[in-house]
Structure 1
Amino acid sequence: MSEYLLDMRGIVKDFNGVKALDGIDLKVRAGEIVGLCGENGAGKSTLMKVLSAVYPYGTWQGEIFWEGKELKAETIRQTEEAGIVIIHQELMLVPQLSVAENIFMGNEITLPGGLMNYAAMYRRAEELMAELKMPDVNVALPVYHYGGGHQQLIEIAKAINKKAKLLILDEPTSSLTKAETEILLDIIRDLKRKGVACVMISHKLDEVAAVCDTVSVIRDGAHVGTRPMKEIDTNEIITMMVGREIKNLFPREEHPIGEVFFEARNVTCLDVNNPARKRVDNISFKLRKGEILGIAGLVGAGRTELAMAIFGCYPGQSEAELWLDGKQIDVNSPRSAVTQGICLVPEDRKRHGIVPLQGVGANITMAVLENYAKFGTIDAESEMAQIQKSIARMRIKTASPNLPIKGLSGGNQQKAVLSKMLLPKPKVLILDEPTRGVDVGAKYEIYKLMFELVREEGLSIIMISSELPEVLGISDRVLVIGEGQLRGDFINDGLTQEQVLTAALGHTDELAA
């Protein structure tokens, strides 16, 4: 009997002749938590899709041994029946169905005659939610009633219900709050104690260090190394991931800051579902030329709604008085915002940043397509020249500019969205969670680009981020928003995370003291 629950040997996978995986090995023991680390596009998600039969046997080379026997799964159902369950970064829940219906989807409990046994499914769903320390969840309610943290745990309940022996988590905390993340990490530890193994793909190396027994690193589709977590630190993991040492994760650079260049006055957004509630409550702020303005606050504080109102895309009722370069401007749509020099890289790139089935190149030039139009047709040659230039500048990993963008890793999709929003040559660039789901090497490249833009092109940048170290590491000035209100405007000189959180929670008397 093998000591390993899972033993993947020499896995090779290519797409149109380009090798995404080049002889990868991965071993996991029962009850072991393995952190799978690497840059965006390194092949982590591809390897897990091979394991879970998203890419079925016969579409890749190598061998997979599961509980000592070779596994040749051709369908996801076969891997799930074996006990291998993957939870993708983009959750596979149906929002309109109940919590219980989502948990039992494809594995429903039925009565004689084929009718659904809802009573039995509700009982079991309640047991699972209690096991995951969420006894207050109403399993009869549609999933859309619950936030990202709850939905992530509902996915785990679905996996446990399938009697998972190995749970694959792809960026499980990318959209969770700090409190939700702690709950999830505790649940992963509980599952380990019950003998469930876990492969955790994450760019958040502090979380990898907190729960993983072993770390396996891949780079450019090749296995770099596997080490016990107790013998390695996060700096060494970074060096293995990117092939070089990154001493300063926030490459702060001196840059000139000019006079006030952009001003937003009295920005107010009413809740889409409850207009009596203000999501953004009369916020005003100024932005200087060449300045990086960080916006911090707890999840749900109104940061994204503020950005959407400025960009003319808030879905509910909103108002904002905007001034750019000394002139009042009227922004009533994203098109009018881009035309007048304001561009936004949205928080949810899947829903608002890309057209998934279109090519990488088509996504990049989408906002400036008229630049390549001549006599009613597109000058494909000049458009392609710009696409190649953008891909090279942002180091976007893609086999072809014509490859549908949904086939790229999350980080490379983010780089493409950023490229798209730079082509209109904005004067004010709003970045909403610009490094979410992005590896440490790509983060570094994005930070360097931000400083290049403010230093050499005189752009003004508004950066919204849930990661306080990022806000403090990059920003010249920090706005703090809480419950839709502006609670602080700080010069970032010796500013601490404690001061920002105190302001976000509305404890201004403590700051004054």
Structure 2
Amino acid sequence: MSDYLLEMKTIVKEFSGVKALDGIDLKVRPGEVVGLCGENGAGKSTLMKVLSAVHPHGTWSGEIIWEGQPLEARTIRRTERAGIVIVHQELMLVPELSVAENIFLGREVASRGGVLDYEAMNAKASRLMADLKMSHVNVALPVSHYSGGILQLIEIAKALGKNAKLLILDEPTSALSQSETRTLLDLVRGLKDRNIACVYISHKLEEIEAICDTVAVIRDGQFIGQAPMAALTVDKIIHMMVGRELKEKYPREPHAIGEVVFDVRHVTCHDPINPDKKKVDDVSFTVRAGEILGIAGLVGAGRTEMASALFGHYKGPHSVDIHLDGRRIEVKTPQDAVSHGICMVPEDRKRHGIVPLLGIGQNITLAVLPRFARFGLIDEAAEFSVIGHEIDAMSIKTASPLLAITSLSGGNQQKAVVAKMLLPKPRVLILDEPTRGVDVGAKYEIYKLIYGLAKDGIAIVMMSSELPEVLGISDRVLVIGDGEVRGDFVNDGTLTQEKILTAALTKRRQAA
């Protein structure tokens, strides 16, 4: 009898003649947490799609051994019956349905007459949520009532309701706060106690180090190795992932800072549902040419709402006074913002950054499409020339610019969104969580790009939930808390995470 719950042997998967996986091996023991690491586009998600039959047996070569027997699954339902359940990076919940209805979607509990037994489903869903220490969640309410962290745990409850023996978590904390992340990591530790194995995919190597028993690394579709975490360090994992040492995670480069370019005054945003509540309360700041302004704050501080207002995208009542190069401008729509030279890479790439039905190239040129118009027609030769240049410049990994942008990994999608927002040649670039869901190698490339843009005199506003990132690349840090400015610090080498957090948690003194 094998010691392993799962063995994947020499897995090969091709797309249009291009090998996405080229001889990958993976082993998982019962109750073991295996970290699966690799750069964006390395093949991690593809390998898990092979395992979970998103790519069914017959579309790839190699062998999967499950509980000592060959597994030749041609449907997702077959792998789930075997006990292999995947929780995708993009949540697969129906907002209008209740928590219980989502948990049992496709496996509804019915009475003898064929009528759905909501009482039984709610009771079972409540037990599952209690197991996850989430008893306070009302399983009868629509999932739209809950935040990202709770939604992630609902997805896991849904998976456990399928009697999972192996749970695959793909970037489970990419949209979670620090406290929500701690809850999820404790949950994974609890799964080990129940002998449920886990494949944990994450670019956050501190999580891999904290929770994983072994680590497997893939690079460019090839298997680099699998070793106990006790024999590895974060630096060793990075070296395996990128094939080179990253001496400095934040490649600070000298750049000149000029005069004030972007002068923002009195940003105020009201909650779209409850207009009496302010999400952003009278925030003002300036950014100079070539300056990188990092904006830090806890989850819910109002950073994203402020960015949306500056870009003309905020849906609720709001007001803002913007001066660009000393001249007051009106920004009521994203088109207004881009026309004035204010471009933005949004926090939610899937909802606001890409058009899923369009190709990679079409997404890149979307913001400057009129540039290629000739007598009512698109000059495709000129457009494709620009697309090719941007794909090369951003090192976007793709077989063809004609492929749907959803065929790219998350990091390569992010690079395409950045390329789209650079084509209008911005004076101001707003980056909201620019490296969310991006691996260490791609992060390094994005940081170097940011410094290159600063050298060109572009004023950069960068929001990030990762304080080391804010400190690593910002010239100045603006701290937001409960929608108000709580600190404005020059990042001169003495600024610390503790000082930023203290500012974020300290309420502004009210005038007497």
Indicate if the aligned counterparts of 2:264 and 2:286 stay in contact, CA closer than 8 A. Answer: yes
Provide Cα deviations, 1:302-336, integer angstroms capped at 9, x if missing partner: 00010110111101111110000011111111011
Separation in 1 of the partners of 2:356 and 2:312? Answer: 23
Partner residue of 2:104? 104
| Secondary structure of the structure 2 residue equivalent to 1:156 | helix
Aligned pairs (5 A) from 1:27-426: 27-426=27-426
Partner residue of 1:475? 474
| Secondary structure of the structure 1 residue equivalent to 2:365 | helix
Separation in 1 of the partners of 2:111 and 2:378? Answer: 60
Indicate if the aligned counterparts of 2:34 and 2:216 stay in contact, CA closer than 8 A. Answer: yes
Which residue type is aligned with residue 472 of structure 1? L
Partner residue of 1:22? 22
CA shift, 1:122, in A, is: 1.1
Which moves more between the two structures, 499-508 or 481-490? 499-508
Separation in 2 of the partners of 1:247 and 1:183? Answer: 32
Separation in 1 of the partners of 2:269 and 2:479? Answer: 17
| Secondary structure of the structure 2 residue equivalent to 1:108 | coil
Separation in 2 of the partners of 1:405 and 1:467? Answer: 27
| Secondary structure of the structure 1 residue equivalent to 2:96 | coil
Indicate if the aligned counterparts of 2:486 and 2:507 stay in contact, CA closer than 8 A. Answer: no
Provide Cα deviations, 1:13-53, integer angstroms capped at 9, x if missing partner: 11111110011111101111000000000000000000000
| Secondary structure of the structure 1 residue equivalent to 2:385 | helix
Separation in 1 of the partners of 2:201 and 2:507? Answer: 37
CA shift, 1:78, in A, is: 0.3
Separation in 1 of the partners of 2:14 and 2:119? Answer: 47
CA shift, 1:507, in A, is: 5.3
CA RMSD of aligned residues (A): 0.8
Under a length normalisation based on structure 1, what TM-score does the superposition of the two structures give?
Answer: 0.98
Aligned pairs (5 A) from 1:436-455: 436-455=436-455
Separation in 2 of the partners of 1:141 and 1:376? Answer: 50
Separation in 2 of the partners of 1:202 and 1:89? Answer: 10
Separation in 2 of the partners of 1:453 and 1:218? Answer: 31
Which residue type is aligned with residue 489 of structure 1? D
Q: Give every structure 1 segment of 4 or more consecutive aligned residues whose post-TM-superposition deviation is greater than 6 Å.
A: none
Mapped pair 1:13 → 2:17: no
CA shift, 1:375, in A, is: 1.5
Which moves more between the two structures, 461-470 or 252-261? 252-261
Separation in 2 of the partners of 1:496 and 1:70? Answer: 53
Provide Cα deviations, 1:209-262, integer angstroms capped at 9, x if missing partner: 000000000000000111100000000000000000001100111110111111
Separation in 1 of the partners of 2:375 and 2:140? Answer: 58
Indicate if the aligned counterparts of 1:502 and 1:508 stay in contact, CA closer than 8 A. Answer: no
| Secondary structure of the structure 2 residue equivalent to 1:209 | helix
Q: Percent identity at matched positions? A: 67
Which residue type is aligned with residue 466 of structure 1? S
CA shift, 1:508, in A, is: 6.4
Taking a change above 3 Å as real, the CA distance of residues 507 and 278 of structure 1, as seen in their structure-2 partners, is closer
For structure 2, the residue ranges without an aligned partner over 5 or more in a row are none
Mapped pair 1:499 → 2:486: no
Provide Cα deviations, 1:61-97, integer angstroms capped at 9, x if missing partner: 1111100111010110000000000000001111111
Indicate if the aligned counterparts of 2:301 and 2:483 stay in contact, CA closer than 8 A. Answer: yes
Which residue type is aligned with residue 37 of structure 2? C
Separation in 2 of the partners of 1:109 and 1:168? Answer: 25
Which residue type is aligned with residue 281 of structure 2? D
| Secondary structure of the structure 1 residue equivalent to 2:435 | coil
CA shift, 1:118, in A, is: 1.1
Provide Cα deviations, 1:129-180, integer angstroms capped at 9, x if missing partner: 1110111111101101110111111111111111000000000000000000
Which residue type is aligned with residue 202 of structure 1? S
Separation in 1 of the partners of 2:483 and 2:194? Answer: 43
Separation in 1 of the partners of 2:22 and 2:399? Answer: 15
Indicate if the aligned counterparts of 1:269 and 1:318 stay in contact, CA closer than 8 A. Answer: yes
| Secondary structure of the structure 2 residue equivalent to 1:223 | strand
Separation in 2 of the partners of 1:193 and 1:12? Answer: 33
Separation in 2 of the partners of 1:314 and 1:434? Answer: 19
| Secondary structure of the structure 1 residue equivalent to 2:200 | strand
| Secondary structure of the structure 1 residue equivalent to 2:363 | helix
CA shift, 1:116, in A, is: 1.0
CA shift, 1:374, in A, is: 1.2
Indicate if the aligned counterparts of 2:34 and 2:198 stay in contact, CA closer than 8 A. Answer: yes
| Secondary structure of the structure 1 residue equivalent to 2:55 | coil
Which residue type is aligned with residue 363 of structure 2? N
Aligned length: 508
Which residue type is aligned with residue 308 of structure 2? M
Separation in 2 of the partners of 1:333 and 1:159? Answer: 41
Separation in 2 of the partners of 1:225 and 1:507? Answer: 49
Partner residue of 2:462? 463
Indicate if the aligned counterparts of 1:311 and 1:344 stay in contact, CA closer than 8 A. Answer: yes
Separation in 2 of the partners of 1:149 and 1:354? Answer: 23
Separation in 2 of the partners of 1:486 and 1:371? Answer: 39
For structure 1, the residue ranges without an aligned partner over 5 or more in a row are none
Separation in 2 of the partners of 1:128 and 1:378? Answer: 54
Separation in 2 of the partners of 1:200 and 1:89? Answer: 11
| Secondary structure of the structure 2 residue equivalent to 1:256 | coil
